[in-house]
């Protein structure tokens, strides 16, 4: 019995790298299909001595549908300072989505050369807040500074990462700086990665420094509807910490008296935009109609 990790999936074949760094082109046994189980890039699998068939998939710590990948340690959230305009609401949605999926967020600001000094300072204040609540956050007046990229390479070491962000945020440009061998044209990441009009769908892991990055533009769906309004507060780390001082257990930080989170907002310990975005998402989740087709 051999152990390895799937590094690429292509047309029903799975390239598995064993513990010695050797790649094996494998297929999944037929009983996987019978049990409606699909191996994913990132899966740790057991395969036979011939190196041709996957026999067992080990338990996943997480998985995504878009892209189909598992066991992700962290996501690099590429966040444009401009073009498209910076949105705290979108960023907080992305962060909460990652928390729900048990994936560590890393924030990387791009296009900082396109904002004036006052706009940059406002973003810098927010960036410092996100650092304070535990998210590695990269912000420099000139995007893709060498020192900053070297720091990010260290963050990627010994981790499996995906890169995510809205269209135009600079995902392909960041990938090019981290892995120049990709030579992706800006705005053409989908075409370069066998997506879009191509009939072959490929997902794979690239070695970048001492880490692995999924060669996909990241997942484009920020679906928060799988959680409930009452559970939402669990996915904002500073709310969890400060919320231990609320008067009532199970406080959702909306109308309850003695709420430590609302007090922290009033005192500036929690930034207003973060609370406003939470309140908007809480209201949306509370008002959503149940899906009886599940």
Whether residue 167 is annotated as binding a ligand: the answer is: yes
- Please say whether the beta carbons of 129 and 274 come within 8 A: yes
Strand duo 53-57 + 44-47: pairing: antiparallel
**DSSP string over 175-218:** HHHH-GGG-PPTT-HHHHTT-TT-S--EEEEEEETTEEEESS--
Whether residue 7 is annotated as binding a ligand: the answer is: no
Whether residue 170 is annotated as binding a ligand: the answer is: yes
Whether residue 171 is annotated as binding a ligand: the answer is: yes
- Residue 94, SS3? helix
Whether residue 74 is annotated as binding a ligand: the answer is: no
CB-facing half-sphere around the CA of 242: CA atoms within 13 A: 22
Question: Cα–Cα distance between 223 and 5 in angstroms, integer?
Answer: 28
Burial of 159 (0-12, 13-18, 19+ CB in 10 A): middle
Whether residue 165 is annotated as binding a ligand: the answer is: yes
Whether residue 87 is annotated as binding a ligand: the answer is: no
Whether residue 166 is annotated as binding a ligand: the answer is: yes
Residue found by looking up tokens 């949605």 in the block:
93
Among candidates 164, 160, 173, which has minimal Cα distance to 220? 164
Whether residue 112 is annotated as binding a ligand: the answer is: yes
Among candidates 279, 284, 275, 282, which has minimal Cα distance to 238? 275
Whether residue 229 is annotated as binding a ligand: the answer is: no
Whether residue 111 is annotated as binding a ligand: the answer is: yes
Can you say which residues are annotated as belonging to the binding site?
Answer: 110-113, 165-173, 246, 251, 253, 259
Can you say which residues are annotated as belonging to the binding site for GTP?
Answer: 110-113, 165-173
Can you say which residues are annotated as belonging to the binding site for Zn(2+)?
Answer: 246, 251, 253, 259
């Amino acid at each position: 019995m051999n152990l390895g990790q799937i590094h690429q999936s292509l047309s029903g074949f799975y390239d598995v790298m064993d513990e010695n760094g050797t790649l094996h082109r494998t297929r999944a046994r037929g009983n996987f299909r019978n049990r409606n189980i699909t191996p994913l890039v990132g899966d740790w699998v057991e395969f036979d001595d011939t190196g041709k068939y996957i026999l067992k998939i080990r338990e996943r710590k997480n998985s995504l549908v878009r892209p189909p990948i598992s066991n992700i340690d962290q996501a690099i959230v590429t966040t444009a300072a401009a073009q498209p305009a910076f949105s705290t609401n979108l960023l907080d949605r992305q962060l909460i989505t990652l928390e729900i999926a048990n994936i560590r967020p890393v924030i990387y600001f791009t296009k900082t050369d396109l904002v004036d000094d006052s706009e940059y300072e406002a973003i810098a204040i927010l960036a410092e807040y996100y650092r304070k609540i535990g998210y590695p956050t990269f912000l420099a007046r000139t995007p893709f500074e060498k020192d900053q990229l070297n720091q990010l390479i260290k963050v990627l070491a010994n981790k499996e990462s995906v890169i995510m962000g809205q269209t135009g945020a600079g995902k392909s440009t960041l990938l090019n700086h981290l892995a120049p061998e990709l030579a992706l044209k800006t705005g053409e990441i989908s075409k370069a990665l066998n997506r879009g009009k191509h009939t072959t769908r490929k997902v794979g892991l690239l070695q970048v420094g001492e880490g692995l990055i999924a060669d996909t533009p990241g997942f484009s769906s920020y679906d928060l509807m799988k959680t409930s309004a009452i559970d939402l507060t669990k996915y904002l780390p500073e709310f969890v910490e400060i919320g231990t001082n609320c008067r009532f257990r199970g406080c959702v930080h909306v109308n309850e008296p003695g709420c430590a989170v609302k007090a922290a907002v009033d005192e500036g310990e929690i930034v207003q935009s973060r609370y406003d975005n939470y309140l908007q998402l809480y209201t949306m989740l509370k008002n959503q109609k149940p899906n009886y087709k599940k």
